[in-house]
């Protein structure tokens, strides 16, 4: 039976200060993500599911119980999220920027629409930028759902995501989700997003 492991962060817990605080990052990764990882492995074992990758499970998630959907989504979404972040500034590649401009009019307009998707996601969930049918699309998902799930309302190849569960920001921002979203733009790893975009074509 395949066992998935908690990925190590490619940076220190305080690397995203002051925008994402050390205490939140440490708890988010070492407690929340670790729990999703352990519970995903247990759900796979309980349901006798064999898979080469976690993404493979999510692609056909409608076949599996809620424990697999929730914990598998939590495992994959967080693994993807950590790589979407970095300390220090970066900018989209020329190719990605051209696609953003074509789809949204400008980088600022994209940020506005993505931020709104994150802000208006009721309860817990995620905002996403995905490549779908040759276009860039903004979407959001509830709980730990993902655009790669066969049950997703909007399906596509994820390029960027933002966690808007309260555990992602509550220690520093309390109920100020809008401020958390605004500061997210300071730590987006555009190098990684640009690489994902190039690979999605």
Spans of all domains in the chain: 20-201
With CA atoms as reference, report the closest residue to 90 among 196, 194, 199, 197. Answer: 194
Q: 């959001």: which residue's tokens?
A: 140
The pLDDT score that the predictor gives to residue 89 is: 86
Q: Dihedrals φ, ψ of 73, to 5°?
A: -65, -45
The pLDDT score that the predictor gives to residue 99 is: 98
Distance of CA 56 to CAs 38, 67, 156, Å? Answer: 18, 16, 14
**The dihedral of CA 117, 143, 175, 25: what is its sign?**
negative
3-class DSSP assignment, residue 125: strand
Helix (H) or strand (E) holding 199: helix 190-200
Length of the chain, in residues: 201
The pLDDT score that the predictor gives to residue 201 is: 74
Q: What is the CATH number of domain 20-201?
A: 3.55.40.20
Q: Residues 35-51: pLDDT tens digits?
A: 999 999 999 999 999 99
Q: How far apart are CA 12 and CA 25, in angstroms?
A: 9
Q: Dihedrals φ, ψ of 105, to 5°?
A: 100, -40
Residue ranges of the chain whose pLDDT lies below 50: none
Q: Residues 11-37: pLDDT tens digits?
A: 999 999 999 999 999 999 999 999 999
The pLDDT score that the predictor gives to residue 2 is: 64
Q: How far apart are CA 107 and CA 173, in angstroms?
A: 25
């Amino acid at each position: 039976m395949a066992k998935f492991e908690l990925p190590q962060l490619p940076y220190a817990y305080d690397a995203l200060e002051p925008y994402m605080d050390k205490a939140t990052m440490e708890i988010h990764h070492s407690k929340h993500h670790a729990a999703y990882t352990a519970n995903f492995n247990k759900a796979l074992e309980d349901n006798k599911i064999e898979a080469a990758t976690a993404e493979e499970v999510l692609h056909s998630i409608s076949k599996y119980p809620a424990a697999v959907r929730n914990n598998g989504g939590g495992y994959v979404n967080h693994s993807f999220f950590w790589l979407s972040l970095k300390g220090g500034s970066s900018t989209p590649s020329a190719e990605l920027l051209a696609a953003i401009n074509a789809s949204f009019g400008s980088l600022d307009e994209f940020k506005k629409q993505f931020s709104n998707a994150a802000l208006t996601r009721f309860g817990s969930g995620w905002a996403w930028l995905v490549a779908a049918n040759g276009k860039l699309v903004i979407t959001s998902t509830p709980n730990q759902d993902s655009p790669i799930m066969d049950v997703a309302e909007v399906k596509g190849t994820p390029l960027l995501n933002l966690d808007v569960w309260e555990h992602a920001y509550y220690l520093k921002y309390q109920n100020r989700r809008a401020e958390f979203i605004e500061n997210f733009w300071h730590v987006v790893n555009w190098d990684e997003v640009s690489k994902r975009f190039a690979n999605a074509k």
